[in-house]
Structure 1
Amino acid sequence: MSEQYEYVPHRLLRRRVRDIPSGAEGELMAVINENVSDNGIEHWTELAYIRGSNGREFTTAVANVEPA
């Protein structure tokens, strides 16, 4: 199995964004292609890491991110 994660460039990095499903807003800190493999089956997914105004980060699917 390869690395567990890799950083992905994104046009909204370090900009204010909104998580569409929750409506939460914050700064897009990173987009990471993460290996979430289970039972020996390799599966990768791209997650957006967003830092909210309270300083805590949360994740969402990259497809859920839009400019705020």
Structure 2
Amino acid sequence: MSERDEYVPHRLLRHRVRDIASGAEGELMAVIHENVSDSIAHEHWMELAYVRDASGRVFTTAIRNIDSASRQP
């Protein structure tokens, strides 16, 4: 992580969540504010959710795509 990447507190950390974009579910492991751009000329920062699914694989998605898995769709 660069010096500007940082962990962000979130109410659903360590809870079961759903990625509304893909429908995948897992445990929210971390939320990190990080640079997701592919250019050093134009930085693009966003909060990414790191979610571990049932197989143990970790995937990322925008934090705005995360919802509690216990809520009804």
Q: TM-score, normalised by structure 2?
A: 0.83
Give unmatched runs, 5+ long, in structure 1.
Answer: none
Runs of 5+ in structure 2 lacking a partner?
A: none
Which residue in the other structure is 1:34 paired with?
A: 34
Secondary structure of 1:42's counterpart equals coil
Equivalent residue runs for 1:12-51 within 5 Å: 12-37=12-37, 38-51=39-52
Name the counterpart of 1:64.
Answer: 65
Aligned length: 67
- What amino acid sits opposite 2:15 in the alignment? R
- What is the RMSD of the two structures over their aligned residues, measured on CA atoms? 1.4
Shift of 1:4: 4.7
- CA separation of 1:35/1:4 partners in 2, compared to 1, >3 Å: closer, same or farther? farther
Give the CA deviation at 1:41: 2.1
Q: Quick check: which one's strand share is greater? A: 1
**Percent identity between the two aligned chains:** 70
Bigger shift: residues 10-19 or 32-41: 32-41
The answer to whether residue 56 in structure 2 is matched with residue 55 in structure 1 is yes
8 Å Cα contact 1:20/1:65 also seen in 2: yes
Maintained 8 Å contact 1:48/1:62 = yes
Q: TM-score if structure 1 supplies the norm length?
A: 0.89
Q: Aligned partners of 1:35 and 1:21: how far apart in 2?
A: 21
